[in-house]
C-alpha cells in the first residue's frame, strides 16, 4: 500500500480541530449525502435558503479524513450569503484553494464536498417542483465523481462479499 | 504543498507522548544507541573484508552479532545469518532468490492472503516470469485454513511463504504444522517465514519449526532501522538478487553497516534477556489496552485473536462511525502516535488487505488503528492512551453526527 505523506495546510488542521457549521440542521430546506462509509468518506450537506434563493446557513456532517472534514466545513462557509446559482458555480479547485491547498491524494475530498452541495441544491428545487434552466440536466463532474465512488464501493463490497 | 512545520507546531506542549506505532518505525532506546556509538568512529569502522585492524575489528563485530542472533533463533551456524538492509529486502531476497534458483522444481508459490506486501508484491512480480501464486485464505482471526492449504499444495510447489506472526492483527500462525503440510506434499519445496513480528516476542526456533528461510528485522525489536537478516539454512540454494562487490555477506553486496548490525545485536540481546518477564509485561499492557478500549468505547471491535493466540505486543481495534486517518491525526494532537488500516491515503479506496481477508467490512477496516506495546511502556502510558482514545473517538463521532439519518 502506498502511503503518501500528508502535508496538510494549517487551515485544514484548524478546521479539523474546530470545524465551522458542524452538525445536523433540523430546519434544513434541503440536504443530501455524497460518498459512502465503505469508501472511507461520506458527507451530509444541509442548506437553509432564504429570500431571493440566498443561502442563509449551511452545515455538514462528515465521515472521513481531516481533509474531508475541512473541505466540507469551508464549503458551508463559502456558500453562505450566495444565491443558489452562485453557490452552484463553486468548483472543487476553489474549495481546495480556500483550505490552503490539498495534497493530490486528497483532491477527491474537495470534489466530494462540492458533489454533496450540488446534490442538496438539486434536492431543494426538486422539493419545490422547479427546474431552473441553469442547472445542467446531466450530473456535473463533481456529482459524477461522488456517484462513481459510491458505485465503486458497492462493486468492491460485492466482489469481496463484504456488506454495506 | 510541502512543509509540515505548522502541523508539528500545532501540537504545542503535550502532557505526555506515547509512541505506539512500532509497526512502522521505532525510537531506539538510549541503551541501544549507546551500544552502537563506538562502532561509528572508535572501533570497527573499517571494511570487514580488508586486512587491517579496523577491518578485522568490523569482521569480528559482525561475526559475533551473527553468532548471537543465530543462537537466539536456534540456527546451527553464524553463516546462516545474512544481514540485509531490513525486512523488505530480506523478504525480496528470500522469495526471488528461492524461486529463481529452484525453478526446475516447480512453478507454484504458496502464500497466505495476509502476507506482508514485500511478499505478496514479489509474488506478483514473479508471475511475470512464469510463476503461479496460490493464496490460501485465513479465518476470521487470521489463522491459515489448513484444509485449504492441504488441497492447494502439490509437487509443483517450489516455494511457500507464511508469516509466523501477522504484523497487523497479531495472529500466531501454526508454522510447524504448515511446514509439515507443505513438505509432506512437496518435499523439495523451500519454506520461508517472515518472523519479524515473532522474533523477540514469542519462542521462535528455526530448527524446531523446520523452516528453510526466515526474515527478522531490527526495528521491530527496538533496534535501529536499516538492518534485518535472512536466515538461510545451510545448503538451501538461493540466487543473489543484487550484484556488486560482495563482502562478508554472501547474498547481499555492498559495504556492511557495522554500527547498525551492532544495534540489531544489542536490541536482540535486550529482548532476550529476561524474555519471559518482557513478554509478560507486554501481554499485560496489551490486554489492559484491549479491554480498556472494548469496555470504554461503544461500537469498537477487536481485530485478530486473543490471549495466547495473539502476539504479546499487538493491539488492533476498529471503531465504527470514526474514520481511521482522522483518528491518527486527533490522537497525534494529544501525543498518542498510532497508525490506521484506512484507505484514506489512496485513491483506489482499498483498505488493509489483512482486515479484508479476515472478513472485516470496508467501514470496519477504515476505522481501524494498530498499536504495539513494548517493555518500556508503563501503566500510566496505557491509562493516558485509553483516555485519549475515548475523547478522540467521541469528538470524531460528533462530526459523524446523524449522517442525515
Residue of B331, B340, B361 to mutate, interface with A, max A Cβ within 10 Å: B361
* Closest Cβ opposite residue A105 in set B323, B346, B366: B346
* B1 pLDDT tier (thresholds 50, 70, 90): very low
Q: Which residue has the cell 525510537?
A: B27
* Closest Cβ opposite residue B325 in set A66, A153, A156: A66
Alpha carbon distances (Å) from B343 to A71, B143, B325, B328: 18, 24, 8, 13
Question: Is A85 a residue whose pLDDT tops 80?
Answer: yes
**Residues A115, A136: Cα–Cα separation, whole Å:** 13
> Do B150 and B284 lie in a common domain?
no
**Residues B159, B193: Cα–Cα separation, whole Å:** 11
Give pLDDT tens digits for A118-148: 999 999 999 999 999 999 999 998 888 888 8
Give pLDDT tens digits for B150-172: 999 999 999 999 999 999 999 99
Residue length of chain B: 405
Cα of A104 to nearest chain B Cα, Å: 9
- Domain end marker among B272, B294, B323: B272
> Do B190 and B64 lie in a common domain?
yes
* B5 pLDDT tier (thresholds 50, 70, 90): confident
| Residues B324, A3 contacting (CB under 8 angstroms) | no
Structural domain boundaries enclosing B319: 5-20+274-400
> Do B178 and B166 lie in a common domain?
yes
Q: How many CB pairs under 8 A join A and B?
A: 133
Alpha carbon distances (Å) from B104 to A2, B100, B115, B120: 34, 9, 25, 22
- Domain end marker among B218, B253, B272: B272
For residue B322, give the chain A residue with the closest CA.
Answer: A63
> Do B208 and B267 lie in a common domain?
yes
Residues in A 119-158 with any Cβ partner in B closer than 8 A: 149, 152-153, 156-157
Give pLDDT tens digits for B212-271: 999 999 999 999 999 999 999 999 999 999 999 999 999 999 999 999 999 999 999 999
**Residues B119, B94: Cα–Cα separation, whole Å:** 9
- CATH of residue A114's domain is 3.90.1010.10
Helix (H) or strand (E) segment spanning residue B142: none
Q: Which residue has the cell 518472523?
A: B195
* A73 pLDDT tier (thresholds 50, 70, 90): very high
The percent helix, strand, coil of chain A (3-state, each to 5) is: 50, 20, 30
CB contact under 8 A, B401 and A22: yes
Give pLDDT tens digits for B83-93: 999 999 999 99
Taking contacts as CB-CB distances below 8 angstroms, the residues of chain A near B117 are 1
* A5 pLDDT tier (thresholds 50, 70, 90): low
For residue A72, give the chain B residue with the closest CA.
Answer: B399
Q: Which of A21, A26, A29, A73 is nearest to A50 (CA)?
A: A29
| Residues B145, B177 contacting (CB under 8 angstroms) | no
A76 contacts chain B (CB < 8 A): no
Task: Look at residue B29 in the predicted model and tell me its pLDDT.
Answer: 97
Q: Is residue B26 domain-resident?
A: no
> Mind telling me the catalytic residues of B?
344
* A1 pLDDT tier (thresholds 50, 70, 90): very low
Give pLDDT tens digits for B172-204: 999 999 999 999 999 999 999 999 999 999 999
Q: Is residue A4 domain-resident?
A: no
Q: Is residue B25 domain-resident?
A: no
CB contact under 8 A, B352 and A1: yes
Q: Tell me how many degrees the CA angle B113-B251-B165 measures, rounded to the nearest 5.
A: 30
Kindly give, in sequence order, each residue whose CB lies less than 8 Å from that of residue B299, ignoring residues fewer than 6 positions away: B319, B320, B321
**Residues A146, A43: Cα–Cα separation, whole Å:** 10
Question: Is A160 a residue whose pLDDT tops 80?
Answer: no
Residue length of chain A: 164
Q: Is residue B218 domain-resident?
A: yes
pTM for this structure?
0.94
Task: Look at residue A2 in the predicted model and tell me its pLDDT.
Answer: 42
Between these two residues, B301 and B4, which has the higher pLDDT value?
A: B301
| Residues B35, B263 contacting (CB under 8 angstroms) | yes
CB contact under 8 A, B4 and A62: no
Task: Look at residue A147 in the predicted model and tell me its pLDDT.
Answer: 85
Q: Is residue A18 domain-resident?
A: yes
Taking contacts as CB-CB distances below 8 angstroms, the residues of chain B near A157 are 361-362
> Do B229 and B313 lie in a common domain?
no
**Residues B350, B313: Cα–Cα separation, whole Å:** 26
Task: Look at residue A115 in the predicted model and tell me its pLDDT.
Answer: 95
Number of domains comprising chain B: 2
> Do B170 and B310 lie in a common domain?
no
CB contact under 8 A, A65 and B3: no
**Residues B83, B264: Cα–Cα separation, whole Å:** 10
**The three three-digit cell numbers of residue A34, written as one number:** 455524497
Q: Is residue A130 domain-resident?
A: yes
* A38 pLDDT tier (thresholds 50, 70, 90): confident
Taking contacts as CB-CB distances below 8 angstroms, the residues of chain A near B323 are 40-41, 63-65, 68
Alpha helices in B74-130 (DSSP H): 87-101, 117-127
Helix (H) or strand (E) segment spanning residue B371: strand B368-372
Give pLDDT tens digits for B78-132: 999 999 999 999 999 999 999 999 999 999 999 999 999 999 999 999 999 999 9
Structural domain boundaries enclosing A49: 10-156
**Residues A19, A59: Cα–Cα separation, whole Å:** 10
- CATH of residue B382's domain is 3.90.1150.10
- CATH of residue B84's domain is 3.40.640.10
* B342 pLDDT tier (thresholds 50, 70, 90): confident
> Do B181 and B250 lie in a common domain?
yes
CB contact under 8 A, B344 and A41: yes
Number of domains comprising chain A: 1
Q: Is residue A103 domain-resident?
A: yes
**Residues B129, A141: Cα–Cα separation, whole Å:** 41
Question: Is A164 a residue whose pLDDT tops 50?
Answer: no
- Domain end marker among B222, B257, B272: B272
For residue A150, give the chain B residue with the closest CA.
Answer: B349
Q: Is residue A84 domain-resident?
A: yes
Q: Is residue B10 domain-resident?
A: yes
> Do B228 and B294 lie in a common domain?
no
Give pLDDT tens digits for B26-77: 999 999 999 999 999 999 999 999 999 999 999 999 999 999 999 999 999 9
For residue B3, give the chain A residue with the closest CA.
Answer: A7
Task: Look at residue A150 in the predicted model and tell me its pLDDT.
Answer: 82
Amino acid at each position: 500500500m502506498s502511503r503518501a505523506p500528508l502535508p496538510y495546510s494549517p487551515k485544514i488542521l484548524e478546521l479539523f480541530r474546530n470545524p465551522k457549521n458542524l452538525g445536523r440542521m433540523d430546519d434544513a430546506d434541503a440536504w443530501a449525502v455524497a460518498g459512502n462509509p465503505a469508501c472511507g468518506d461520506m458527507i451530509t450537506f444541509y442548506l437553509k435558503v432564504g429570500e431571493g434563493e440566498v443561502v442563509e446557513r449551511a452545515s455538514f456532517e462528515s465521515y472521513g479524513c481531516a481533509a474531508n472534514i475541512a473541505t466540507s466545513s469551508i464549503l458551508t462557509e463559502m456558500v453562505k450569503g450566495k444565491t443558489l446559482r452562485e453557490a452552484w458555480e463553486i468548483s472543487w479547485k476553489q474549495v481546495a484553494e480556500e483550505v490552503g491547498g490539498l495534497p493530490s491524494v486528497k483532491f477527491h475530498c474537495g470534489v466530494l464536498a462540492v458533489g454533496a452541495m450540488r446534490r442538496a441544491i438539486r434536492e431543494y428545487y426538486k422539493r419545490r417542483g422547479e427546474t431552473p434552466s441553469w442547472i445542467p440536466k446531466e450530473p456535473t463532474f463533481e456529482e459524477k465523481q461522488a456517484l462513481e465512488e459510491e458505485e465503486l464501493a458497492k462493486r468492491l463490497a460485492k466482489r469481496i462479499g463484504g456488506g454495506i | 504543498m510541502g512543509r509540515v512545520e505548522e502541523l508539528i507546531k500545532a501540537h504545542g506542549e503535550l502532557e505526555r507522548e506515547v509512541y505506539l506505532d512500532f509497526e512502522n518505525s521505532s525510537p531506539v532506546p538510549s541503551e541501544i544507541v549507546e551500544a552502537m556509538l563506538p562502532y561509528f568512529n572508535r572501533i570497527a569502522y573499517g571494511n570487514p573484508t580488508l586486512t587491517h585492524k579496523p577491518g578485522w575489528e568490523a569482521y569480528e563485530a559482525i561475526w559475533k552479532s551473527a553468532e548471537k542472533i543465530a543462537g537466539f533463533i536456534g540456527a546451527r551456524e553464524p553463516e546462516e545469518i545474512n544481514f540485509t538492509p531490513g525486512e523488505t529486502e530480506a523478504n525480496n531476497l528470500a522469495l526471488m532468490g528461492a524461486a529463481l534458483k529452484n525453478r526446475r522444481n516447480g512453478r507454484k508459490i504458496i502464500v497466505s492472503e495476509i502476507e506482508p506486501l514485500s511478499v505478496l508484491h514479489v509474488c506478483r512480480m514473479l508471475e511475470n516470469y512464469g510463476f503461479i501464486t496460490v493464496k490460501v485464505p485465513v479465518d476470521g482471526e487470521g489463522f491459515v485454513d489448513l484444509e485449504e492449504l492441504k488441497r492447494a499444495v502439490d509437487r509443483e510447489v517450489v516455494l511457500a511463504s507464511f508469516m509466523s506472526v501477522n504484523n497487523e492483527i497479531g495472529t500466531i500462525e501454526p508454522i510447524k504444522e504448515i511446514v509439515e503440510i507443505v513438505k509432506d506434499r512437496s518435499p523439495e519445496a523451500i519454506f520461508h517465514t517472515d518472523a519479524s513480528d515473532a522474533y523477540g516476542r514469542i519462542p521462535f526456533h528455526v530448527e524446531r519449526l523446520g523452516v528453510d528461510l526466515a526474515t527478522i528485522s531490527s526495528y521491530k525489536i527496538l533496534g535501529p532501522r536499516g538492518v534485518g537478516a535472512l536466515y538461510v539454512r545451510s545448503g538451501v540454494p538461493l540466487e543473489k538478487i543484487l550484484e556488486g562487490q560482495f563482502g562478508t555477506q554472501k547474498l547481499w553486496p555492498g559495504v556492511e553497516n557495522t554500527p547498525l548490525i551492532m544495534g540489531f545485536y544489542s536490541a536482540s540481546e535486550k529482548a532476550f534477556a529476561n524474555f519471559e518477564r518482557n513478554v509478560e509485561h507486554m501481554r499485560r499492557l496489551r490486554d489492559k489496552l484491549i479491554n480498556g478500549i472494548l469496555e470504554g468505547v461503544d461500537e469498537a471491535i477487536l481485530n485478530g485473536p486473543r490471549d495466547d493466540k495473539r502476539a504479546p505486543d499487538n493491539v488492533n481495534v476498529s471503531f465504527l462511525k470514526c474514520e481511521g486517518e482522522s483518528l491518527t491525526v486527533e490522537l497525534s494532537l494529544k501525543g498518542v502516535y498510532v497508525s490506521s488500516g484506512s484507505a484514506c491515503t489512496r485513491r483506489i479506496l482499498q483498505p488493509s488487505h489483512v482486515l479484508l481477508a479476515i472478513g472485516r467490512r470496508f467501514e470496519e477496516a477504515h476505522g481501524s488503528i494498530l498499536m504495539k506495546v513494548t517493555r518500556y511502556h508503563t501503566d500510566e502510558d496505557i491509562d493516558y492512551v485509553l483516555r485519549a482514545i475515548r475523547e478522540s473517538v467521541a469528538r470524531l463521532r460528533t462530526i459523524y453526527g446523524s449522517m442525515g439519518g
